[in-house]
Structure 1
Amino acid sequence: MCDELTNEDVEAYFLSQGMNRRNFTKAGLGAALAMMLPISARAQDLVETNVTVKTPDGEADAYFVHPAKGRHPAVILWPDIFGMRPAFRQMGKRLAESGYAVLVVNPYYRTMKGQLVPDDAAVIDPELRKEIWPKAREQAGTLSPTTAVTDGRAFVKFLDQQPSVDTDRQIGVMGYCMTGSYAFRMAAAMPERIGAGASFHGGGLVTDKEDSPHLLVPKIDAGFLVAIAENDDERDPEAKTVLRKAFDSAGVPAEIEVYEGTLHGWCPPDSAVYNRAQAERAWQRLLALFEQNLA
C-alpha cells in the first residue's frame, strides 16, 4: 500500500495543515521532532549507541537505545519504506524512555548503509518524496518475506546478548508501512520469543498469495495491534474483516482499528500526513500492548 499514496495526496494534505519544510527546519530537526513527540511521564536516563548486527547476509547498521540502569524487555522497530532516519531514532528513544531496550534497524543494509532521508529534513514533503521515492522503491525490492525472518532472527539474537535486555521477558516487534507485515512474520517464525506485534498503516497484510501475513496468524502466540489508515481501509475495506476473523479463529488477541481521518503514513512525525492526535492514540495503545504482553 505504500505506493498507493500519490504525491498529489501528500501535497494536498500537507498544504491543508499549513505546514512547509521551512517552518520545521528553521528550528532545527531535533527541536522539531522533540516538539512533535511528547516525552514519557516515566522518562529515564538512556544509553544510545550505533551498533552493527551480524546477519546471514552481512552486517546491519542499527540504533540501540535503552535505559541506563537495569534489564528491560526488548523491542525491534522496523521503519517504513523510507528507511532508518532521525524520526525513527526519536521514536525508538521515546519508547526506551518508557522502559524498553529498543533496536531501530536499517532494513536496507545489504545494499545501503545509512539513510535515504537527509538529516536536516524534518518533513518528507512532496518535493523530497519525489526525489527519494525511486531509490526507496529500489531498496524495498531487495527485501522479501524470507529476509524479514532471517534478519529478524539475527536481531533477536543480538538483543538476547545485551546486558540491558531481560531475556526472561518476551520481545516486541513493530513495523510501519511495508514492515507492518514483518511483525506478523517474526511472530509466526518465533512464537516462543515474540510476545507482541504491532503494525501501523501496514501494507499487504491480506493478499491472495500463499504467504499472505494473515495466513500466519494460527502460528502466532503474541498479542497484536493493527492500526489501519482510513484511506487504506477505503481502498480495501474487507482486509480488516479478514484479519479479525483470522485472529478470532486462532484465539489470538488482537486490537484491529481503522483510525478515523488518517492517511497512509500518518504515524512517523516526519511524514507529510502526520496526524498527531491519532498517532498519539496509536502510541498509547502500543504502550498498553507491550505492558500487557511483554511480561
Structure 2
Amino acid sequence: MCDESKLADWAKQTLSRRQFGALTGAAALAACASGETESVAQPMAGLKERGVNFATADGTLDGFFVQPEEGDHPAVILWPDIAGIREAKRNIARKLALAGHAVLVVNPYYRDVTGEQFADFAAFIADGGFQKVGPWRGKLNAEAIMRDATAIVDWLDRQEGVNQAQGIGTQGYCMGGPFTVWTAAAVPARVKAAASFHGGGLVRPDNPMSPHKVLGKVDADLLIAVAQDDDAKAPADKTTFADAAKAADVDAVVTVYPGDHGWMVSDSPSYDATAAARGEADLKALYAKALA
C-alpha cells in the first residue's frame, strides 16, 4: 500500500525530481516506440474531452471526461491514486476512450480542493504530498465514496455518448482500489465491472464496510490486481478477498502481478511497462466481458 514508508523508500531510490522527470520521459519515449500511448500530453485524434463539474451530496465534484467523438459507448469511472487527478491519469483515460469507452477521471479530493494538485508523482514526493493530502484523504470512507458513486452514475447516464444499455465499469489505483468495490456496491444495477490495481485496504478486518465485507451488494465482475510487494507484506489478504467473493457469488479474479506498488502508473517510480501492458489487457478483457 502507498504509505509514508513507501514514499520514503521511493524518495531514497529515486533520485532528484529532475532525475525522476528524465526517467518518466524515457519511459514515454519507450512507450511511443512500442506503439503505446500512455504518456502523450495532448488530446488524441478521434476523441473529445473536457473538464466537468456537477453536484453531489457533499459539494461540487470536478473531473476530466473523455470519449470517442462519435457514437454511444459504455462509461468508465476512474479513481486515481493518492496523487490525484493529473496528466498520467488523463492519459490512461484517453487510451480507454480510444478503445471505445466514455471515461470520467474523478478528483477524489473535491471536498477540499479543485483540480490538479500535483503535476506528477515526482512533485507529490518533493512537495510533501502525503502530509498535504492526509486530511483530504481522511474523509474518503466507504459511505462518502458510495454517495459520490451514486451522483457520478446519475451524471454519466445523462451524458450524450454514454450507452445506458451497457454496464458501467470502474477502475482504481492505490487508494482508489477499494473505491471501485464501494462504487459497485453503491449502484449494482449499473456498475458491472470493477478493477483494483495495487489497491490498498481491500481487506480491513475490523471495519464492517471493508470492501471484502460489502461484496454481497455487488453485481459486477471484479479484477483484483495485487502488487507483489503488497502481497509480501499481507499474503493472506488475497485469499481472504477471494474467499469472500466466492461466498458472495461474485466473479472475481484475484491475482498477484510481477510488479511493485504503482506498476500501472507511468509517473510512478515503480512503473513497469511490461506488467502495465498485462494489466491493460486484463482490464480490456474484463470490460469486454462484463459491459456488453
TM-score clears 0.5 = yes
Q: Could you tell me how far 1:73 is from its partner in structure 2?
A: 0.2
Q: Could you tell me how far 1:201 is from its partner in structure 2?
A: 0.7
CA contact under 8 A between 1:33 and 1:270: conserved in structure 2? no
Which residue matches 2:41? none
Letter in 2 for 1:3: D
Which residue matches 2:218? 220
How many residue pairs were aligned? 284
Q: SS at the partner of 2:140? A: coil
Deviations 1:220-273 (A, max 9, x none): 11111000001111111000001111112222111111112x221221111011
Which residue matches 1:46? 47
Q: State the distance in 2 between where 1:37 and 1:215 align.
A: 40
Paired residues for 1:241-256 under 5 Å: 241-256=239-254
Q: SS at the partner of 1:287? A: helix
Letter in 2 for 1:23: A
Which residue matches 1:77? 78
Letter in 2 for 1:237: P
Q: TM-score, normalised by structure 1?
A: 0.88
Percent sequence identity is 40
- Give the alignment's Cα RMSD to 1 decimal: 2.5
Paired residues for 1:54-73 under 5 Å: 54-73=55-74
Q: List alignment gaps of at least 5 residues for structure 2.
A: 39-43
Q: State the distance in 2 between where 1:182 and 1:67 align.
A: 25
Q: 1:74 to 1:275 in 2, by over 3 A?
A: same
Q: State the distance in 2 between where 1:152 and 1:282 align.
A: 24
CA contact under 8 A between 1:10 and 1:126: conserved in structure 2? no
Q: State the distance in 2 between where 1:174 and 1:26 align.
A: 25
Letter in 2 for 1:170: G
Q: Is 1:237 aligned with 2:238?
A: no
Letter in 1 for 2:20: R
Paired residues for 1:30-179 under 5 Å: 38-39=36-37, 45-118=46-119, 121=120, 124-125=121-122, 128-129=125-126, 131-179=128-176
Q: TM-score, normalised by structure 2?
A: 0.89
Which residue matches 2:9? 9
Q: 1:36 to 1:152 in 2, by over 3 A?
A: farther
CA contact under 8 A between 2:51 and 2:63: conserved in structure 1? yes
Q: State the distance in 2 between where 1:147 and 1:223 align.
A: 23
Q: List alignment gaps of at least 5 residues for structure 1.
A: none
Q: 1:154 to 1:238 in 2, by over 3 A?
A: same
